[in-house]
Structure 1
Amino acid sequence: MTPDSALRSLHVKINGPVAEVQLLGPSKGNAMGPDFWTELPAVFADLGADDEVRAVVLYGSGGNFSYGLDLPAMEPVFRPLLESSGTDARLRSNFRQNIKELQDAVSSVARCGKPVIAAVDGWCIGGGVDLIAAADLRIASPVAKFSVREVKVGIVADLGSLQRLPAIIGAGATRHLALTGEDFAAPRALELGLVTELADDVVARGRELAAMIAANPPLVVQGVKQVLDHGSEAAVQAGLDYVQVWNTAFLPSRDFAEAAQAFAERRPASFTGD
């Protein structure tokens, strides 16, 4: 197991058969920067391989789950492609590989052999929704707020929301949320089935659910997860592969540059379709 002292974006605590993974940032709102994308898959691979761990609770710190992708910290990933002439095949191939690595980090949660409970408080935006969609159970506090917001910053969501949410909330609701990018509150998330229950102390409730799962036969629990995932894994991966190609071709647009500039200047973006 990676020593907790070596982690910057996550805090890991193991209490008997239940592991807890807390998002730390270090950026505001637990935004997902370079450390997160390196540490998340390593942590969940370790937890999946730990025979003593039977369930995992995933939650945020500081009153929020996550603001999603840390755009300023991840700018070095996007900048070379945005500044290119559009004809550098190697640059585009590298960018596609960058997307794949981020996707694989999120998918490490889905691949973990132990059930993962996402306990959401405060904001869960963009990449945060990608992350909870990869979990097995999702619960929220009454004040939690969600948004599949990538469309508002000139990005086709490419880390799993578009592939996993239809099986969770249905295709119609997924299209509504992904095309509008609107914010929605915990009661709507419960109505849609994105979360299965609301709890005032959502982390404590996550621990209770994890303990209930951990008390069941571990091989049977893992078997339930594997059987439920069996039919969807190939379709999810095919969708992830496709959006890699789409965003490699179309992400470097004037609209994306405008979204990034508007974000930096804290103003509404004006999109032209270029």
Structure 2
Amino acid sequence: MTTMSAPVDVLPDLVSLKVALDGPVAEVTLLGPSKGNAMGPDFWRELPQVFAALDADARVRAVVLTGSGKHFSYGLDLPAMMGGWAPLLAGDALAGPRTEFHTEVKRLQEAVSSIAECRKPVVAAISGWCIGGGVDVVTAADIRLASADAKFSVREVKVAIVADIGSLQRLAPIIGEGHLRELALTGKDIDAARAEKIGLVNDVYEDQETLLARARELAAEIAANPPLVVQGTKQVVSATTERQVAEGLRYVAAWNAAFLPSKDLAEAVQAFLERRAPEFKGE
């Protein structure tokens, strides 16, 4: 497998992602650089650039998306991303800070949606932890596979946030509304066996090496089919769902811009930084 320079030949030097090409299959690997491939500013800037380039590159017919190291992603890199939230935590956020936050949420949403909007089918290969923003990302993929050690969590409720980057919109067609409500309202962790049972992942493999081999084989199987028909099939299957997703994303961006600022959010952030359990009061 050779590293690509980028239309994938016009990509700038990447920090948070690595892109490699093996015949018609591109492989995108999350690099971090934060622990557990946490998603900081570099990731949110680079993700839409990479998937726009993959969409435009005629050589690419399918994509494998995975994480480096033991984990797919710990999700949003809170310390790295908190700077833009500071005005909301001050207590009296007016229209200006709320508008800026709304714009930022939409930017992150569009970054994740670049995966769903890429005409090339995307196979997510998930090992270890896949938390919060990691779930947003894999639900935007077409097919999800996991290794036996994979664990998933829609954890935003535990940090006083309504998940707003795509999980609440994309999970229901995948796992059903009942399972979505359970995961999103509890913030609980589920293992790979439960994820397979509810349809979050198609198959579970014994280890990361086997998982990656199978993901590459599946992507190659897709890539062997007529490319325009494959792309058309993805677009037709996604047409109704993505219209509903777009409406839901608009709604949650507006909702969070209006209601996110709270004492509970400030408490969640402080508890995170102090590595203690938060005490929520509904304020």
- Fold shared, TM-score > 0.5 on shorter chain: yes
Aligned partners of 1:154, 1:224: CA distance in 2, in Å? 38
Q: In structure 1, what is the equivalent of residue 215 of structure 2?
A: 206
**1:85-124 correspondence to structure 2 within 5 Å:** 85-86=92-93, 88-124=94-130
Q: In structure 2, what is the equivalent of residue 252 of structure 1?
A: 261
Q: In structure 2, what is the equivalent of residue 42 of structure 1?
A: 49
**Could you list the runs of 5+ residues in structure 2 that have no partner in the other structure?**
1-7
Shift of 1:89: 1.2
**Is the 1:4–1:12 Cα contact (8 Å) retained in structure 2?**
no
**1:227-246 correspondence to structure 2 within 5 Å:** 227-246=236-255
Q: In structure 2, what is the equivalent of residue 188 of structure 1?
A: 194
Q: In structure 2, what is the equivalent of residue 220 of structure 1?
A: 229
Aligned partners of 2:116, 2:160: CA distance in 1, in Å? 26
**1:5-84 correspondence to structure 2 within 5 Å:** 6-83=13-90
Q: Which secondary structure state, in structure 1, belongs to the residue aligned with residue 79 of structure 2?
A: coil
2:256 aligned partner, one-letter code: N
**Is the 2:105–2:253 Cα contact (8 Å) retained in structure 1?**
yes
Q: How many residues align?
A: 273
Among 154, 159, 169, which residue is 1:148 paired with?
A: 154
**Is the 1:2–1:43 Cα contact (8 Å) retained in structure 2?**
no
Aligned partners of 1:35, 1:3: CA distance in 2, in Å? 17
Change (3 A) 1:53 1:263: same
1:25 aligned partner, one-letter code: G
Q: Which secondary structure state, in structure 2, belongs to the residue aligned with residue 12 of structure 1?
A: strand
Normalising by structure 2, report the TM-score: 0.94
> Which shows bigger deviation, 101-110 or 90-99?
90-99
1:192 aligned partner, one-letter code: I
Shift of 1:252: 1.2
**Is the 1:4–1:11 Cα contact (8 Å) retained in structure 2?**
no
Q: Which secondary structure state, in structure 2, belongs to the residue aligned with residue 74 of structure 1?
A: helix
Aligned-residue identity in percent: 63
Change (3 A) 1:5 1:45: closer
**Is the 1:2–1:42 Cα contact (8 Å) retained in structure 2?**
no
**Could you list the runs of 5+ residues in structure 1 that have no partner in the other structure?**
none
Among 267, 272, 280, which residue is 1:263 paired with?
A: 272
2:47 aligned partner, one-letter code: L
Q: In structure 1, what is the equivalent of residue 4 of structure 2?
A: none
Among 107, 129, 139, which residue is 1:133 paired with?
A: 139
Shift of 1:196: 0.2
Aligned partners of 1:255, 1:109: CA distance in 2, in Å? 32
**Is the 2:140–2:170 Cα contact (8 Å) retained in structure 1?**
yes
1:77 aligned partner, one-letter code: G
Aligned partners of 2:255, 2:183: CA distance in 1, in Å? 20
**Residues 186-233 of structure 1: CA distance to partner in whole angstroms, max 9, x if unpaired?**
000000000000123211111010000000111111111011011112
Q: In structure 1, what is the equivalent of residue 174 of structure 2?
A: 168
Structure 1 outlier segments of 4+, above 2 Å: 1-5
Aligned partners of 1:204, 1:56: CA distance in 2, in Å? 13
1:234 aligned partner, one-letter code: R
Q: In structure 1, what is the equivalent of residue 281 of structure 2?
A: 272
Q: Which secondary structure state, in structure 2, belongs to the residue aligned with residue 272 of structure 1?
A: coil
**Residues 98-157 of structure 1: CA distance to partner in whole angstroms, max 9, x if unpaired?**
000000000000000000000000000000000000000000001100000000011100
**Residues 68-90 of structure 1: CA distance to partner in whole angstroms, max 9, x if unpaired?**
0000000112112222523x212
